[in-house]
Structure 1
Amino acid sequence: MELQVPIDDILARDLRLIVPNLHRRYSGVTATNRMVAPKLARMYRAAWLGPHAPDGIARMGFVDLLKLWRRREPLIWHARRNDEMIAGALLRALGWPLRLVFTSAAQRHHKRLTRWLIRQMDAVIATSELSASFLKREATVVMHGVDTARYAPPPDRAAAFADSNLPGRYAIGCFGRVRAQKGTDVLVEAMCRLLPRYPDFTAVIVGAVVPEQQGFANSLKRQIEAAGLQSRIVITGELEIEEVQRWYQRLTIYAFTSRNEGFGLTLIEAMAAGAALVAARAGAAEFVVEDGVTGVLIPPGDADALVAGLEPLMRDPAAASAMGERARARVVEKFSLEAEANAIAAVYRKLG
C-alpha cells in the first residue's frame, strides 16, 4: 500500500491542478499520466490524487480533497478515464470549483455515458487526429511524449544484451500485457517461424499475465514448447519500470503487434531507446512511424506480414541499428515530454 503524503497548507492554498488516478491496476493510461504529470507540476502548483504517484509532484489524499470544498479559486481536474470524469463532474456539482479536462485516446465510437461525460468537460484533448474524430466535439490534439533522457540508447547495446544472460546476440521485444488485444499470439507465431533460421536472435515479451488471460498465456507457452524455443522466447512477467527501461536498451528490434490501441506508448519508448520498429497499424502508429524510414508498418493481426517486416532486419542487424538511430532522432524532435506538457498547459491557459 502506498503512503499518502498530505499536501501542505501553502500548496493547498496555491493549488491549481489536480491529477486524479483512480485505478489501482497499473496500465498504459497510468504510465502516460505518470510521465507528463511532473512536467506539468513545474508549470502549475499540482498534486496527484490516487495510487502510483510519480516523483516530482505533490501527493494528496481524499482528506486533502475535502478541504478544498467551496474554495473560490478554480482548480483544473484533468481526467483520463470515465470514473475520473464522473468524480470531477460530481465534485463540481457539490461545490468544488473545478475546471474539467479530459484526455481521450480511444479510437472507437463512445458509449452513451461517455458521450454525456465528454459534453460536461470544459476542454477535451485527443491523443491523435483519429481519436479526435470520434469525440463529436471540439478537441485539441496533443500526442503523447516520452522522457528521452530516461528512455535512451545504451552506451553499448551488445553489452546491455549480454547482461540479460539470454542466448544469442540480439533481442526482439514486445512489451505489454500478454493477451490477444496486444497481439502476443502474433509475435509468438512469427518467432516460431523465424528464430530457427536466425540463431543470433532471442524474443522477449515483457508484461504481466493477468488471471483472466492465464488460459491464453498457457496456450502460447505450449506453442513455444512444441517449437523447442523455451530458452529463446522469454515471457518475463510484470517488472518494475526501471527494469523495463533496461530491457528496452537490450533490444535491436521492437515488434508492436497490438490489434487495437488508444495510442501505444511503447512505440515511442522503443524508438527513444534506439530500436528498429515493425509496427501494426494500430493506435498512433501511422502518425508516429515513417514507414520504411523509422520503422515498418504492417496490418494488425497478420503474422505473415510481421514475418515479412522482421526478416530483413534480422538478416541485417546493421540496417536495424541505423533504423533505430533514425527512430530515436524522430522521437527527440517530435515526441518529447516537454512538447506534450507545453501543449497541455496551453489548453489549461484557455480555461483561465
Structure 2
Amino acid sequence: MQLRNILVIAPNFKKRLSGVTSTLVQLIPEHRRRGLGIATLGPGLPDDMPAMSYWQLPLLWKRPQNASHRVWHARRNNEMLAGLILRDVLRMPLKLLFTSAAQRHHSGYTRWLISKMDAVVATSGRSGSYLKVPHTVIRHGIDTALFHPPTSEDDTISATHLPGRYLVGCFGRVRHQKGTDLFVRAMIDLLPQNPDWTAVVSGRITPDHAAFADQLKADIAKANLSDRIVFLGEVADIKPWYRRLSLYVAPSRNEGFGLTPLEAMASQTAVVASDAGAYAELIAEGKTGSVVAAGDYDALRDAIAPYLADPEMAYQHGLAAITHVSEHFALKNEAKSLEKEYAALLGTDLGTTCVF
C-alpha cells in the first residue's frame, strides 16, 4: 500500500467479526469506488481490502500528496487512543474522527477520549443523545448490490430442504443480549398454530453462551418442534438466507446500531424488531414491519403473530421494504455523508484524490 494518496485511515483493532467490522467491509470498497483514497489498519478484514501495515505507521509523519494531513477514523476506544498517541505524542499530521454507535452513558474515560476528537459522528439519533459534544448523525447504509431480492430457486425455502412453505428467521450471535430466547419462545408458542412456517436461527455460539443455547434446544425438543425450529450455526454466507425468509425477527435487548433489519429489508423481507439500537429508526411501522419495546416478550410475540397468520402481508411489507431501504438507507448515501465530514476536516476537495 502506497500512502501518498491515502487521505483516510480506518483502523480495525478487533480480530473477531463485529458490527464495526461489517460496516468497514461494506463502506471502504464503496468509498474507493467513489474515488476516495482510504486504507484500513488492523486484523479481521478480508484480504482484498486496501490495507496499510503497522510497519508503515512512521510514514504517516509525511504529509499526503493532496492535503496537509490525513483523517484517522476511529470507531472504538482503543482506536481513539491510538489516534491520540499518533497525533498528540508523535505529532503526526492527523485529524481524528470518531463514530459512536453506543446507546448508553459513556464512561468517564470514553468521554475524555471523545472530547479530544476533531469531529464526532453518531450512527443514530438515539446514540447521539448520549454524546456531550457537537456531532453529526449519519445512519448506516446497506449495499443493495450484495443484499437484494430473490432472483432464483436458490433464494426460496425449497433450497433449504426444510419443512413448510415459509421461513421466519433470527440471525446473530446466540446469547441473552441478542434476545435469541425471546425468538425461540415466540416460535414455540406460535408455530403449532401455523403449520406452514419453519423457524431458523443462525449465529455463532461461543463457549460462554453454550449453556444458554443448550437450554433453548432443550426447550424446543420438549415442545416437539426440533424439526421446525432449526439452529443453522454460523453460516459462511448469510445473504441467501435473508432472501429465503418471509419474515425476519431482530429481538435484541441491547444493540449498538444493528444492520440486520436493513439487510433483511433490502432482501425483500418484512421485519419485526425491538427498539434496541437504531431499529426503530430503520423500520417503517406498519409498512415494512413492526417495532416493539426491547425485552417485552408479549409485545414481540403479538407483533410476529399477524405475519404468520397472513403470509401475504409479510410479502407486501417485504416489497415495500425494498423501496424504503433504497430511498433512505443506500450505502452510497452513508459514504457521501462521511466524505463531507472528511472534506471538512481535510479542507480539501476529495475529488482530487485517486485510488491505488
Normalised by the size of structure 2, how large is the TM-score?
0.92
Deviation at 1:239, TM superposition (A): 2.2
Please state if 1:325 is matched with 2:319.
Answer: yes
Residue among 190, 195, 200 paired with 2:196: 200
Q: Does 1:65 align with 2:47?
A: no
Q: Give the corresponding residue for 2:182.
A: 186
Aligned ranges 1:208-227 → 2 under 5 Å: 208-227=204-223
> Could you say which residue in structure 2 is the equivalent of 1:121?
117
Shift in CA distance, 158/67, structure 1 to aligned 2, threshold 3 Å: closer
> Which whole-Å CA distance do the structure 2 matches of 1:55 and 1:335 have between them?
27
CA contact (8 A) 1:102 1:123 kept: yes
- Correspondences of 1:103-182 after superposition (within 5 Å): 103-156=99-152, 160-182=156-178
Contact 1:186/1:257 (<8 A) preserved: yes
Q: Return the match for 1:90 from 82, 85, 89.
A: 85
CA–CA distance in 2 between the matches of 1:38 and 1:50? 16
Q: Look up the equivalent residue of 1:251 and give its one-letter code.
A: L
Between the aligned partners of 1:130 and 1:103, the Cα distance in structure 2 is 13
Is 1:257 matched up with 2:257?
no
The 5-angstrom pairing of residues 210-249 of structure 1 reads: 210-240=206-236, 243-249=237-243
Deviation track 1:280-337 (CA, whole Å, cap 9, x = no partner) reads: 1111122111211111111211222122111111111111100011111100000000
Cα distance change of structure 1 residues 55 and 316 upon mapping to structure 2, 3 Å threshold: farther
Distance 1:324 1:246 in 2: 15
1:51 shift after superposition: 2.1
Identify the match of residue 37 of structure 2 among 29, 34, 45. Answer: 45
Q: Percent identity?
A: 48
How many pairs were matched up? 341
Match of 1:281 among 262, 271, 275: 275
Highest RCO, 1 vs 2 (Cα 8 Å, sep ≥ 6) = 2
Counterpart check, 1:309 vs 2:303: yes
For residues 98-125 of structure 1, the C-alpha deviation after alignment (integer angstroms, 9 at most, x for no partner) is 1111100111110011000001111100
Q: Post-superposition shift, 1:56? A: 6.6
Query: Aligned partners of 2:48 and 2:126: how far apart in 1?
Result: 32
Amino acid at match of 2:39: A
Give 1:34 shift. Answer: 1.4
Say which is worse superposed, 137-146 or 150-159, in terms of deviation.
150-159
Cα distance per residue 1:196-235 (max 9 Å; x no partner):
1111111111110011111111111111111111121112
Shift of 1:70: 4.9
The TM-score with structure 1 as length reference comes to: 0.93
Identify which range, 281-290 or 152-161, moves more after superposition: 152-161
**Which of 4, 16, 21 is matched with 1:25 structurally?**
16
Given that 2:170 and 2:200 are in contact with CA atoms closer than 8 Å, whether structure 1 keeps it comes out as: yes
Of 225-234 and 102-111, more deviation after overlay is shown by: 225-234
Q: Distance in 1 between matches of 2:324 and 2:47?
A: 27
Matched to 2:69, the amino acid is: P
Shift of 1:157: 6.8
* AA partner of residue 10 (structure 2): V
1:254, CA displacement in angstroms? 0.5
Amino acid at match of 2:58: L
Secondary structure of the structure 2 residue equivalent to 1:213: helix
Stretches of structure 2 lacking an aligned partner (at least 5 in a row): 348-356
Deviations 1:38-59 (A, max 9, x none): 1122332111111233477411
Task: Return the letter of the residue paired with 1:310.
Answer: I
Query: Corresponding residue for 1:3?
Result: none
| Deviates most, 47-56 or 272-281 | 47-56
SS, match of residue 19 in structure 1: strand
Contact 1:157 1:250 in 2 (8 A): no
- How far off is 1:153 after superposition? 0.9
Match of 1:268 in 2: 262
* Matching residue's letter, 1:74: H
**Whole-angstrom CA distance in 2 between matches of 1:84 and 1:162:** 45
Greater shift after overlay, 191-200 or 297-306?
A: 297-306
Q: Is the 8 A contact 2:164 2:196 kept in 1?
A: yes
After TM superposition, the structure 1 stretch with the greater mean CA deviation from structure 2, 194-203 or 117-126, is 194-203
CA contact (8 A) 1:70 1:95 kept: no
Deviation (angstroms), 1:97: 1.4
